[in-house]
């Protein structure tokens, strides 16, 4: 399964810059199926091939807003050789709708 489809790229472009939004839309959610790590992507930078969003690796004080690259997500291999997956059942939601405590942007 591709982590980033043409349809998602189009949707990220439609949503656009959310840097001033206090409660941005999560367009895509990625997760590690065999361990810690969830990435909530709110923006996509086609030129740099990077997402911007909320990164929750351990559900603690290390979680933060920031950039993360598509290449890093695609290259990761966890237990049993499984890689990062896109949550196909998540759908778009405001970040506040997820059961996480985000730090302010």
Backbone angles phi, psi at 22, to 5 degrees: -75, -25
Note the pLDDT tens digit of each residue in 70-104.
999 999 998 898 999 999 999 999 999 998 877 66
* Alpha carbons within 13 A on the beta-carbon side of 91: 2
Alpha helices in 43-97 (DSSP H): 70-75
Predicted local confidence at residue 32, as pLDDT: 96
Q: How far is CA 46 from CA 33, 37, 62, 73, in A?
A: 26, 23, 27, 15
Domain boundaries of the chain, sorted by first residue: 6-97
The average pLDDT across 33-48 equals: 96
Higher pLDDT, 57 or 49: 49
Q: Residue 4: helix, strand or coil by DSSP?
A: coil
Tell me if 51 sits within 8 A of 70, measured CB to CB: yes
């Amino acid at each position: 399964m591709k982590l980033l489809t043409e349809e998602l790229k189009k949707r990220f472009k439609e949503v656009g810059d959310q840097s001033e939004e206090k409660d941005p839309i999560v367009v895509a959610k990625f997760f590690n199926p065999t361990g810690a790590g969830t990435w909530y992507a709110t923006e996509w930078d086609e030129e740099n091939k990077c997402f911007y969003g909320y990164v929750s690796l351990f559900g603690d004080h290390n979680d933060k807003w920031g950039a993360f690259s598509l290449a890093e997500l695609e290259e990761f291999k966890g237990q049993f050789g499984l890689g990062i997956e896109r949550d196909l059942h998540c759908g778009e939601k405001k970040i506040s709708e997820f059961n996480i405590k985000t730090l302010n942007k």
